[in-house]
Amino acid sequence: MVNSFGNRLPSRIGAAAHLAAGFRAVALSSALFAAVVGTAFAHAHLEASSPAVDSAVRISPKEVTVTLTEKLEAGLSRIEVRDASGKQVDRGDTRVSKDDPRTISVSVGDLAPGIYSVKWSVTSVDTHGTDGSFRFTIKP
């Protein structure tokens, strides 16, 4: 088919194919954008801890360790450990691991049997802050 200027017009099948290709390109672009943005705006989430979340142990740990899903900013990340009365029992020496910058820890003395609360507040290297808490028990 030719228009009045002598240009060939696309067939209906050709136009439909071009339209479908356009939709596929938009869908692919949207998916890639979502993947990149989702990664860029990720927050650090708890991956593991020692003692483990809601665990019961028989021996007092020497330190409490929290591993998150993102690398951490050392000066902007901390852990506190408190006993059942709310008294802080850690030594205030929160540090980010040199071997694994996703892990922070704090020293504790010899803890008596009881329930302990751990509160962590961190800023990941992408500058997003997050916090959380959990408990563990030391059995008599």
Q: What is the pTM (predicted TM-score) of this model? A: 0.70
Kindly write down the DSSP assignment for every residue of 36-49, as one continuous string: HHHHHT----EEEE
* Residue 110 scores a pLDDT above 90: yes
What is the rounded CA–CA span in Å between residue 15 and residue 97?
59
Mean of pLDDT over the chain: 84
**pLDDT tens digits, one per residue of 38-97:** 444 568 899 999 999 999 999 999 999 999 999 999 999 999 999 999 999 999 999 999
Tell me the CA distances in angstroms from 106 to 40, 89, 92, 135, one per residue in order. Answer: 29, 10, 7, 15
pLDDT band at 18; cut points 50, 70, 90: low
Per-residue pLDDT at 121: 97
Arch. (CATH architecture) of 46-138: Sandwich (2.60)
Phi-psi map region of 113: left, alpha, beta (phi>0 left; psi -120 to 50 alpha) = beta
Domain spans, the chain:
1-41, 46-138
